[in-house]
Amino acid sequence: MVVLAVGLDAAAKDSSGELNRAAAVAIQRSGKLESIRLVDALEPQNSAKRKAKLAEAEAAYLAGISAYDELDTVRAAQQFEASMKAFRSTDLTRTLEELAKAWVMKAASFVANGENAAAKQEIEKIVAVHAKAQFSSAYFTPDALKQVEEARKSAAAAKGELKVKTTPSGAEVYLDGEYRGVSPLTVKKLLPGEHLLTALAAGYSMAQQPVGLGTAEVSLRPAEAHEQWRAAVERIAQDPRGPLRDAAAKELGKWVGADQVLLAIAKKSSAGHKLELTALRLETKDGHNAAYQIATVPMGQGLGPAAETLFMALLSKDEPRQGGNPVVHFDLPGSGTLRRTVGYALIATGVALVGGGLFIGTQANAQVDEYRRTKQTDAQRSAELKNRGQTYALMADLFMLGGVVAAAPGGFLAFSGSERKEELGQAPEAKGLPGTDARGKEARGKDARAKEAAAELERRREEQRKKEEEGQQKKEQEKNKRDEEDLRNF
């Protein structure tokens, strides 16, 4: 699984690093899937180099252990130094512990050689970077172990600070292999001396460098496959609720060799210092949304825990396919919100036209009644009433026909459609997080109003049919009456 976080505005973009981190932690905790980091997937050559350096570091470490066991502590120190150098070119967010082990064994080699001053310096450097490093009594004298404890006390009381700024901002910042937050930020309680800084941002190369206290500014260069990442992000931002979103995520997932994509789309909420977060787990095989969540989460320090809870819910259960077909959560062209909105509008238009037709029809009937009451000797008046009645009748027929023509497709658009879950408001909510119940209520309200409008239209249609039948019967009766009169006159 690969994680892709997309911010739709400046505030959300600066939170992308935190979302990436929360998703990675959730994936690791779930134990269901293996995470593919974009920093590795978009940097295949540099990733391969880091793996090669890791193999080199491990080999040098084993050579150092062998030399130490053979009591060749001078060569052991050299091998451990070579191991440390190689480890510094690996991904220190994952290998800091191994680096610390090689460093500790270098200090142990100095102790075995009687180089106590050099050993003390190494101990202080190690504790400054990794205070929890293990120093075994099998390798260190009581005096050396005492120096370790003193160094740890100093680390606990440290007051040094390091301000970290990155370009672009919002990068994940690791100091001495430990995650510290997203840039810009200030890391406190540090001992003087060298520390190891790592900065990660999706679409950019990993940046690692030794730093001291004060300020560190890091410029991240675009990754080898930066354009593939940028294109996917732009397409998703262009259509965050539509099919282009899923298509772009699926394409990027296939490109990096992932079976699934955990996609998180964020934008600044209008309800305070919060983010509106849409998260989905998409299968790259056919775009099936195996899980879908939406929530409003706090920004700042509360973002990480809230997002992690959301992502854990996303990973906890797979949504079944519908009839073997993939489930999606977006508005299909011609359907979804737009489809129903057009349907409601057509139904309302149909109701209005039918209502107008009924009113004009009554006017036509009134003209017919007046025509019958008018003396036939008043030819001009009779002609006016006849023409007006025919005009009203024609208009009534046209209005009724227009109402039917508008309402029929409107009903189809409003109440028929795909069985797929297309609306964001229909998605399951994350437990314990603010969801979208208001959206669901609004959608249900619209559906109820549409049904009422359709029912009213059907009632008026029935009334019109009855009036037309009555009118037809009346016309037949009048025709029969005239025929009888004509026969008598004849």
DSSP letters of 195-241?
A: EEEEEE-TTB--EEEEE-SEEEEEEPPBPTTHHHHHHHHHHHHHSTT
- pLDDT attached to residue 376: 62
Q: Which two tokens stand for residue 26?
A: 């959730």
Say if residues 257 and 276 touch (Cβ distance below 8 Å).
no
| C-alpha gyration radius of the chain | 38
- Is pLDDT of 6 > 90? yes
- pLDDT attached to residue 441: 44
Say if residues 410 and 350 touch (Cβ distance below 8 Å).
yes
Residue bearing the bigger pLDDT, 469 or 66: 66
Percent of the chain clearing pLDDT 90 (strictly above): 59
Give the phi and the psi of residue 197 in degrees, each rounded to 5: -105, 135
The tens digit of pLDDT for each residue in 433-475 reads 333 344 344 434 544 554 565 566 566 667 766 766 776 677 6
| Sequence-separated contacts (24+) of 226-229 with Cβ below 8 Å | 226/42, 228/42, 228/252, 228/255, 229/38, 229/42, 229/202, 229/203
Average pLDDT, integer, range 209-227: 95
Confidence grade of residue 352 (pLDDT, cut at 50, 70, 90): confident
**Per DSSP, what are the bridge partners of residue 242?**
none
Q: Provide the CA 10 distance to its chain's centre, in angstroms.
A: 16
Using the structure block, give the residue that is written with the tokens 């252990």.
Answer: 65
- Is pLDDT of 425 > 50? no
Identify the burial level of 169 via C-beta atoms within 10 angstroms of its C-beta, where 0-12 means exposed, 13-18 middle and 19 or more buried: middle
* Least trusted range by pLDDT, from 94-103, 148-157, 203-212, 380-389: 380-389
The tens digit of pLDDT for each residue in 301-327 reads 889 999 999 999 999 989 899 888 999
- pLDDT attached to residue 476: 66
Alpha carbons 193 and 183: distance in angstroms, whole number: 22
Nearest Cα residue to 134 out of 142, 145, 118, 143: 145
Using the structure block, give the residue that is written with the tokens 């840039």.
Answer: 183
Alpha carbons 145 and 140: distance in angstroms, whole number: 6
Say if residues 264 and 277 touch (Cβ distance below 8 Å).
yes
* Least trusted range by pLDDT, from 100-109, 144-153, 371-380: 371-380
Q: Which two tokens stand for residue 69?
A: 């066991």
Query: In sequence order, which residues have a C-beta less than 8 Å from that of residue 380 and are 6 or more positions away?
Result: none
- pLDDT attached to residue 403: 67
* Least trusted range by pLDDT, from 126-130, 201-205, 259-263, 340-344: 340-344
- Is pLDDT of 206 > 80? yes
Say if residues 21 and 172 touch (Cβ distance below 8 Å).
yes
Question: In the β-sheet with 185-190, what is the strand arrangement from edge to edge?
Answer: 185-190, 160-167, 214-219
Say if residues 79 and 108 touch (Cβ distance below 8 Å).
no
- Is pLDDT of 28 > 80? yes
Confidence grade of residue 49 (pLDDT, cut at 50, 70, 90): very high
- pLDDT attached to residue 46: 93
Round the average pLDDT of the chain to a whole number and report it.
Answer: 83
Say if residues 132 and 103 touch (Cβ distance below 8 Å).
no
- Is pLDDT of 68 > 90? yes
Number of Cα atoms under 13 Å in the Cβ half of residue 281: 24
Query: How far is CA 52 from each of CA 89, 221, 298, 475, rounded to the nearest angstrom?
Result: 10, 22, 41, 97
Average pLDDT, integer, range 357-380: 70
The tens digit of pLDDT for each residue in 11-26 reads 999 999 999 999 999 9
Alpha carbons 343 and 129: distance in angstroms, whole number: 65
Average pLDDT, integer, range 377-386: 68
Average pLDDT, integer, range 252-256: 93
Question: In the β-sheet with 274-283, what is the strand arrangement from edge to edge?
Answer: 2-7, 260-268, 274-283, 289-298
Q: What is the pTM of this model?
A: 0.68
* Least trusted range by pLDDT, from 110-124, 128-142, 388-402, 428-442: 428-442
Say if residues 22 and 313 touch (Cβ distance below 8 Å).
no
Alpha carbons 371 and 456: distance in angstroms, whole number: 33
Query: In sequence order, which residues have a C-beta less than 8 Å from that of residue 440 and are 6 or more positions away?
Result: 425, 426
* Least trusted range by pLDDT, from 68-72, 135-139, 198-202, 415-419: 415-419
The tens digit of pLDDT for each residue in 386-411 reads 677 677 777 767 767 776 776 677 66
Structural domains present in the chain? 1-42+225-328 (3.40.50), 44-156 (1.25.40), 160-219 (2.60.40.1120), 336-422+436-489 (no CATH)
The CA-based angle 81-82-88, given to 5 degrees, is 90
Q: Which residues of 131-141 are buried (b: 16+ CB within 10 A; e: fewer)?
A: bebebeeebbe
How many other CB atoms sit within 10 Å of the CB of residue 333?
A: 9
The tens digit of pLDDT for each residue in 147-174 reads 999 999 999 999 999 999 999 999 999 9
- pLDDT attached to residue 308: 93
